[in-house]
Amino acid sequence: MGFASDKISNAQDDLEKLVSDLRGLLSSKDLDSVPEIRQLRKRLDDSIYTVRDSAVRAAQEAAYQAKEAARNADRYAHDEPWRVASAALAVGALVGFLLARR
């Protein structure tokens, strides 16, 4: 799960940099007199809020689904320990066989 949170963090950083660049561009003193720029700034702020909210909800949902999958796997392992052990043995034997062929 650390890899996913790193990817999310990188995406957030990239988004923050893009927003900062846009705000810097739109905050030029020469553009203050243009009413369309003020409207554009407001829409940008509203969009940023919406995107952040969506990103937070998506990250929370992904974390919930990962936890639920882990709970289901744990429950299955406790309900069917011999099947899990035999599957692990089969995967280990297959990996060992493949490594031995090298």
CA separation for the pair 95, 91 (Å, rounded): 6
Structural contact between residues 4 and 62, judged by C-beta atoms closer than 8 angstroms: yes
Instruction: Give the pLDDT band (50/70/90) at residue 20.
Output: confident
Angle at 66 between CA 64 and CA 72, to 5 degrees: 100
- In this prediction, residue 71 carries a pLDDT of 95
> Does the pLDDT of residue 70 top 70, yes or no?
yes
Q: How many helices (H) and strands (E) does the chain have?
A: 3, 0
Give the position of tokens 């937070």: 56
- pLDDT for 2: 62
Confidence of residue 32 (pLDDT cuts 50, 70, 90): low
Among 6, 25, 15, smallest CA distance to 50 is for 15
